Amino acid sequence: MDIWFGDPKDEHICEEAGEGIILKKNKADMVIGIEKLYVSKTVGMTGKPIPIELVFA
């Protein structure tokens, strides 16, 4: 699963932050995205759609 806070085209480097968590950074070393690996396995939903709710304030 990828979550972006900025433009994905600005990604310059990726950095592993922990178990299955990747920080995506721009050239200014600011985090512009987060990737969580193995989400479907983590929540026990392999092969099934994962319901997601987005709320914008």
Residues 20, 43: Cα–Cα separation, whole Å: 13
Nearest to 25 by CA among 15, 39, 35: 15
Q: How many CB atoms lie within 10 A of CB 33?
A: 19
Tell me the pLDDT tens digit for each residue of 9-43: 999 999 999 989 999 999 999 999 999 988 877 66
Delimit the domains of the chain by residue range: 2-42
How many C-alpha atoms does 42 have within 13 Å on its Cβ side? 9
Residue 44, pLDDT > 90, answer: no
